């Protein structure tokens, strides 16, 4: 019985240690979510304005103008799949959902699919499936920075402009709220943008304006996608750590009851042994 009591006490200590860790990780993730939300509040309106500007510029393109390659596309049949995943675990369904969706898109593309693996969890997942990414990005955007978005965008642009792919799709998690995130597959290249028709004349040449603005637009779009997916990751991790803490506390209550019951039984048995021994001495 004493051994059983010690085992329960050991389990209680282990669970308390785990609950302390998950509680701290929950607090860290909550802080990160708040930080990402502030960045999203700035980035989303900027991208809306930039998209509107380019839509107006595209609407001014004369019909006889030479096509802008980033709008018109190329002749390649290959498809680029750019998945933005995590470098770390303990984020519930997040990494699995993103990897599975990217995997499905590669299967749909047949032999024409080319993978850009964002995050260590994407790289490791596809390595186990013998899929070699054309580019992988481990620990590059765990702390989101615009420079990372520039590098990733320019890699995709280089492959696209060289005719290595005719289309690139982004796979990431869109942040809606702390409790709601949705997986998104979004066209990245060629640029898909609805023109705003405007007959006003523009100087300098409007085609040059569009051609020079599109790479900036794509880098901003990549940066926004990184912010969205990181905010979602931290929100899902926060919820996962909260659930783990709640489960640990529930288990602690159950173990504490079991410990108290086992300890009471042990004490009762010891008292019974003492009384029995006293009775035996009295009878002797």
Q: Does 274 fall in a domain? A: no
Q: Does 103 fall in a domain? A: yes
- Residue 151: which domain range? 23-239
Q: Does 171 fall in a domain? A: yes
Over range 107-115, report the average pLDDT: 92
CATH number at residue 168: 3.40.1380.10
Q: Does 207 fall in a domain? A: yes
Q: Contact, 30 vs 179, CB < 8 A?
A: no
Q: In the predicted model, is pLDDT for residue 85 greater than 80?
A: yes
In the chain, what is the straight-line distance between the N-terminal and C-terminal CA atoms, in Å? 29
Residues 6+ apart with CB under 8 A from 6: none
Least reliable range by pLDDT among 163-177, 194-208, 218-232: 194-208
Main-chain phi, psi angles of 246, to 5 degrees: -60, -45
Q: Does 58 fall in a domain? A: yes
Domain total in the chain: 1
Over range 209-232, report the average pLDDT: 96
Q: In the predicted model, is pLDDT for residue 219 greater than 80?
A: yes
pLDDT tens for each residue of 150-165: 999 999 999 999 999 9
The number of C-alpha atoms within 13 Å of 76 and in the hemisphere containing its C-beta is 23
Over range 22-51, report the average pLDDT: 94
Confidence label for 274 from pLDDT (cuts 50, 70 and 90): low
Q: In the predicted model, is pLDDT for residue 19 greater than 60?
A: yes
Q: If you average pLDDT over every residue of the chain, what do you get?
A: 89
Q: In the predicted model, is pLDDT for residue 270 greater than 90?
A: no
Instruction: Please give the Cα distance from 177 to 172 (Å, whole number).
Output: 15
Q: Does 108 fall in a domain? A: yes
Instruction: Please give the Cα distance from 236 to 14 (Å, whole number).
Output: 25
Least reliable range by pLDDT among 59-63, 131-135, 199-203, 204-208: 199-203
pLDDT of residue 258: 76
Q: In the predicted model, is pLDDT for residue 183 greater than 90?
A: yes
Q: Does 16 fall in a domain? A: no
pLDDT of residue 15: 86
């Amino acid at each position: 019985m004493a051994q059983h009591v010690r085992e329960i006490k050991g389990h209680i200590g282990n669970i308390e240690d785990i609950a302390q860790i998950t509680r701290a990780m929950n607090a860290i993730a909550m802080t990160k979510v708040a930080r990402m939300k502030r960045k999203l509040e700035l980035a989303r309106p900027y991208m809306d304005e930039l998209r509107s500007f380019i839509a107006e510029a595209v609407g001014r393109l004369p019909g006889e103008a030479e096509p802008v390659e980033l709008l018109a596309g190329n002749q390649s049949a290959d498809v680029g799949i750019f998945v933005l995943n995590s470098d770390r675990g303990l984020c519930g369904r997040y990494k699995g959902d993103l990897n599975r969706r990217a995997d499905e898109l590669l299967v749909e593309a047949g032999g024409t699919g080319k993978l850009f693996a964002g995050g260590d969890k994407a790289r490791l997942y596809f390595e186990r499936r013998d899929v070699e990414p054309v580019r992988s990005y481990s620990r590059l955007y765990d702390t989101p920075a615009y420079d990372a978005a520039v590098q990733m965008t320019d890699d995709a642009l280089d492959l696209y402009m060289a005719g290595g792919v005719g289309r690139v799709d982004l796979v990431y998690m869109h942040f809606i709220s702390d409790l709601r995130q949705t997986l998104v597959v979004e066209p990245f290249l060629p640029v898909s943008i609805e023109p705003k028709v405007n007959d006003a004349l523009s100087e300098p040449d409007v085609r040059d304006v569009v051609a020079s603005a599109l790479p900036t637009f794509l880098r901003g779009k990549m940066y926004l996608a990184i912010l969205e997916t990181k905010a979602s990751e931290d929100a899902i991790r926060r919820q996962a750590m909260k659930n783990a803490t709640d489960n640990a506390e529930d288990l602690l209550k159950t173990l504490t009851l079991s410990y108290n019951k086992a300890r009471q039984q042990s004490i009762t048995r010891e008292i019974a042994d003492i009384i029995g021994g006293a009775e035996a001495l009295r009878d002797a």
